Chain A
Amino acid sequence: MHNFEFVKPSSIADAVAALAAEGAQPLSGGQTLLPTMKQRLAAPEVLVSLTGIPEMQGVCTGDGGLHIGGATPHAVVAREAASHYPALAALAGGIGDPAVRNRGTIGGSVANNDPAACYPAAVLASGVTVVTSTRKIAADDYFQGMFTTALEEGEFITSVIFRIPQAAAYVKFNQPASRFALTAVFVAKFADGVRVAVTGASNNGVFRWEEAEDALTADFSAGAIAGLTASAEDMISDLHGSAAYRANLVKVLTGRAVTAAR
Chain B
Amino acid sequence: MPKDTGIGASTKRREDVRFLTGRGVYTDDLSLFGQAHAVMVRSTVAHGRIVSIDTSAVESMPGVLAVFTGEDFKDVGGNPAGWLINSRDGTPMREPKRPVLAHGKVRHVGDAYAAVIAESYAQAKDAAQVLSDATEIEELPAIVDMKAAAADASNRVHDEIPDNICFDWGWIEDNRAAVDAAMKAAPHVVTLELTNNRLVPNAMEPRASIGEYFPGTGDYKLTTTSQNPHLTRLLICAFVMGIPENKLQVVAPDVGGGFGSKIYHYGEEALVLAAAKRLGRPVRWTAERTESFLSDAHGRDHVTKIELGCTKEGDILAIRTETYANVGAYLSNFSTATPTFLHGTLMAGPYKVPHVYVNVKTVFTNTAPVDAYRGAGRPEATYSIERVVDKMCRELGLDPFEVRRRNLLTPDQFPYTTPVGLVYDTGNYQATLDKAVDLADVAGFEARRAESAKRGKLRGMGLSTWIEACGIAPSHLVGVLGARVGLYDAATVRVNATGTISVMTGAHSHGQGHETVFPQIVAEKLGIPASSVEIVHGDTAKIPFGMGSYGSRSLAVAGSAMDRAIDKIIAKGKKIAAHMLEAAEGDITFADGKFSVAGTDKAKTFGEIAFSAYVPHNYPLETLEPGLEETAFYDPANFTYPAGAYICEVEVDEGTGKVDVVAFTCADDFGNVMNPMIVEGQVHGGVGQGIGQAVLESTSYDENGQLLTGSYMDYAMPRADDVPFYTVDHSCSTPCTHNPLGVKGCGEAGAIGSPPAVVNAVIDALQRGGHSHVTHIDMPVSPNRVWQAMNA
Contacts and interface: CB of A to CB of B under 8 A. Distances in A.
Interface string B752-792: 00000000000000000000000000000011100110010
Interface string B614-646: 000000000000000000000000000000000
Interface string B692-709: 000010101000000011
Given A240-B782, A241-B783, A242-B784, A252 B656 contact: yes
B700 A177 contact: no
Contacts, number: 45
Contacts of A256: 655
A57 to B, nearest CB: 29
Interface in A151-193: 173, 176-178, 182
A241 B709 CA distance: 14
Given A173-B656, A239-B698, A178 B788 contact: no
A25 B784 CA distance: 38
A239 B713 contact: no
B709 A239 contact: yes
A241 B656 CA distance: 11
Give the interface size class of chain B.
20 to 34
B589 interface: no
Given A176-B716, A178-B714, A239-B714, A245 B708 contact: no
B715 A241 contact: no
B414 interface: no
B788 A245 contact: yes
B711 to A, nearest CB: 8
Contacts of A173: 656, 658, 783
Interface in B708-731: 708-709, 712-717
A177 B788 contact: no
B656 A249 contact: yes
Contact of A176 (B708, B782, B788): B782
Q: Is the interface of B mostly helix, strand, loop or mixed?
A: loop
Contacts of A176: 696, 716, 782-783
Interface string B106-128: 00000000000000000001000
B129 to A, nearest CB: 7
A58 to B, nearest CB: 31
A239 B657 CA distance: 15
Contacts of A241: 783-784
A149 to B, nearest CB: 22
A132 interface: no
Contact of A178 (B656, B713, B787): B713
A40 B714 contact: no
Max chain A CB contacts within 10 Å: which of B125, B657, B717?
Answer: B657
Nearest to B126: A2
B787 A245 contact: yes
B712 A177 contact: yes
A178 B717 CA distance: 10
A241 B784 CA distance: 5
A238 to B, nearest CB: 8
B787 A248 contact: yes
Nearest to A255: B655
A181 to B, nearest CB: 13
A257 to B, nearest CB: 12
Interface in A220-259: 239-242, 245, 248-249, 252, 256
B696 A252 contact: no
Contacts of B788: 242, 245
A71 B782 CA distance: 36
Contacts of A245: 657, 783-784, 787-788
Contacts of B655: 248, 252, 256
Nearest to A256: B655
Nearest to A40: B129
A256 B655 CA distance: 10
Contacts of B782: 176, 240
B707 to A, nearest CB: 11
Contacts of A252: 655-656
A40 B39 CA distance: 15
A74 to B, nearest CB: 19
Contacts of B714: 177-178, 239-240
Contacts of B791: 248
Max chain A CB contacts within 10 Å: which of B125, B129, B655, B698?
Answer: B655
A41 to B, nearest CB: 12
Contacts of B657: 245
A245 B784 CA distance: 6
Nearest to B700: A239
A40 B716 CA distance: 24
Nearest to B695: A176
B418 to A, nearest CB: 38
Nearest to B722: A176
A256 B717 CA distance: 27
Contacts of B696: 176-177
A248 B700 CA distance: 24
A256 B654 CA distance: 13
A256 B715 CA distance: 28
Nearest to A252: B655
Interface string A104-131: 0000000000000000000000000000
A240 B780 CA distance: 11
A182 B714 CA distance: 11
Interface in B176-229: none
Interface in B380-416: none
Contacts of A248: 655, 787, 791
B742 to A, nearest CB: 41
8 contacts: A40-B129, A176-B783, A178-B713, A240-B714, A241-B783, A242-B788, A245-B657, A252-B655
Interface of B: 125, 129, 655-658, 696, 698, 700, 708-709, 712-717, 782-784, 787-788, 791
Given A177-B715, A239-B708, A242-B784, 8 more contacts: A173-B656, A173-B783, A176-B696, A176-B782, A182-B783, A245-B783, A248-B655, A248-B787
4 interchain residue pairs of minimum CB distance: A177-B716, A252-B655, A176-B716, A178-B713
